[in-house]
Amino acid sequence: MIKLIVSDIDGTLVPDGSHEMNPELLDVIMKIRENGVQFAAASGRQWASIESIFGPIKEKVFYLSDNGAYVGCHGRNLFLNPIDRETVMDMVRDVRRMEGLEVMLSGPDVVYLETEKQEFVDWLVEGYQFRVEQVPDLTMVDSQFIKVSIYRETEVEEYTRELREKYKDRFKITIAGDMWMDCMKPGINKGQAVKLLQDSLEIKPEETMAFGDQLNDIEMLEQAYYSFAVGNARPEVKATARFQTDTNVNDGVLKILKLLV
């Protein structure tokens, strides 16, 4: 019996950077919950962005945000995994010296940027629905940080090879799509967050269903017996998942969940 469903958001439920989701999915999630099944959204997004997508049912969904660095639900932070500040600042200084990259620091509730590109900030606010604070100097921000995100308009994986090699032992680093490289505390990922939730709710991997499309979803899929790659997923994700469904734009996740109603 399925007791927990976990899904990625960007590229799995919605197009990257969007907050428009098929409203039928919200109805199906509520029907599934009536049968005693929990639902969790696992994303590189901050919790406020996840909440904006699931608005009408936001109190009924667990948030595994910032690639597992934040685990909570509406109005409650259950588990937080801050990164060593010195490591964060070293990364900030390195990214500043590299052309074409933007760095974003995620606190528990706000993301901080020192970019002068207003269109980039507007996209984060309007597209992702992030809570954003622009600052003149990231190294002067007085906050805990749970994730460092490196952004490039395209081909971020290729243009961050040097950073990944340098920081591979100081961060958990993952590629999230063509635009983002996310860095968390070592040992932190979506799979670890799913296990934390499973242990808390006394739910087994054999009672868990998960959906994803990108490299940062692999550990999460490994934590669920009923693991699904959407049709538009990367080859590495399809190789990890036991099952496959339709693409995100064709409501692949919704088609599977409707079978459980």
Q: Which of 151, 184, 217 marks a domain boundary?
A: 184
What local confidence, expressed as pLDDT, does residue 6 receive? 98
Per residue in 54-93, pLDDT tens? 999 999 999 999 999 999 998 788 999 999 999 999 999 9
- Measure the CA–CA gap between 80 and 75, rounded to whole angstroms: 14
Residues 143, 123 within the same domain: yes
What local confidence, expressed as pLDDT, does residue 116 receive? 86
- Measure the CA–CA gap between 245 and 13, rounded to whole angstroms: 12
Residues 135, 192 within the same domain: no
Residues 176, 218 within the same domain: no
Residues 45, 73 within the same domain: yes
Q: Which of 152, 184, 216 marks a domain boundary?
A: 184
What local confidence, expressed as pLDDT, does residue 32 receive? 95
What local confidence, expressed as pLDDT, does residue 18 receive? 80
What local confidence, expressed as pLDDT, does residue 16 receive? 82
What local confidence, expressed as pLDDT, does residue 238 receive? 98
Domain that holds residue 73: 4-80+188-260
- Measure the CA–CA gap between 43 and 41, rounded to whole angstroms: 6
Q: By three-state DSSP, how is residue 129 classified?
A: coil
Number of domains making up the chain:
2
Residue 257, CA distances (Å) to 6, 53, 170 in order: 11, 18, 38
- Measure the CA–CA gap between 247 and 146, rounded to whole angstroms: 30
What local confidence, expressed as pLDDT, does residue 201 receive? 96
Q: Is the dihedral of CA 127, 88, 222, 62 positive or negative?
A: negative
- Measure the CA–CA gap between 120 and 151, rounded to whole angstroms: 10
DSSP assignments along 82-97, one per residue:
PPPHHHHHHHHHHHHT
Q: What is the pTM of this model?
A: 0.91
User: Which CATH number does the domain housing residue 68 bear?
Assistant: 3.40.50.1000
What local confidence, expressed as pLDDT, does residue 76 receive? 85
Q: Which among 137, 111, 103 has a CA at the least distance from the CA of 48? A: 111
Residues 156, 196 within the same domain: no
User: Which CATH number does the domain housing residue 173 bear?
Assistant: 3.30.1240.10
Residues 100, 169 within the same domain: yes
Residues 155, 200 within the same domain: no
What local confidence, expressed as pLDDT, does residue 77 receive? 87
Residues of the chain with pLDDT under 70: none
Residues 25, 69 within the same domain: yes
Residues 10, 28 within the same domain: yes
Residues 125, 196 within the same domain: no
Residues 175, 91 within the same domain: yes
Q: Which of 184, 219, 245 marks a domain boundary?
A: 184
